[in-house]
Amino acid sequence: MLRGGVVPAIAVAVVAIVVFTLVSGSQGLAGSVLAAALVVLSTASTMLILRRMAGLDPRVVFMGAMVSYLFKVMLLGVFLLVFRNADWLSPIAFAVTAIVVSLAGTTGEIVAYTRVRTYIYDEPGPTSGAQR
């Protein structure tokens, strides 16, 4: 699912960077690159954390996912506070790029998850001749 989320996110990020560079120049480039890097790195880190938690109790995995989500929201809040008065980037390019890259990554993760073959039951073991 890591590849399923990161590949579309990077593809959309490249398109957003090109579009905002053409529309807003270097400020659009800076805003788009910063937003794309932030979103792609946070998406990849969440998937890597959850991959390491595979096989644990589902409640622990859920807690890990929620902590990871909280961390991402707090990280975005810190970036917004730090760069709120930055005149070297376009806030519109940052916001739009962050939204579309995040949506692309989430959609890719959902599509990848629907294609995963997860057994929801125990596979039958070998049968002995006495049980026939």
Q: Answer yes or no: is 128 within a domain.
A: no
| pLDDT score of 70 more than 60 | yes
Please check whether residue 32 lies inside any domain of the structure. Answer: yes
Structural domain boundaries, residue 76: 2-116
| Residue 122 in domain | no
End-to-end C-alpha distance for the chain, whole angstroms:
41
The model carries a pTM of 0.78
What are the pLDDT digits (tens) for 49-60? 888 888 888 898
Residue 127 lies in a domain: no
- Report pLDDT digits (tens) over 31-42: 999 999 999 998
User: Has residue 121 been placed in a domain?
Assistant: no
- In total, how many domains does the chain have? 1
Q: Considering the domain boundaries, does residue 91 fall inside one?
A: yes
Type of residue at 79: F
- Alpha-helical (H) ranges within 89-130 are 91-114
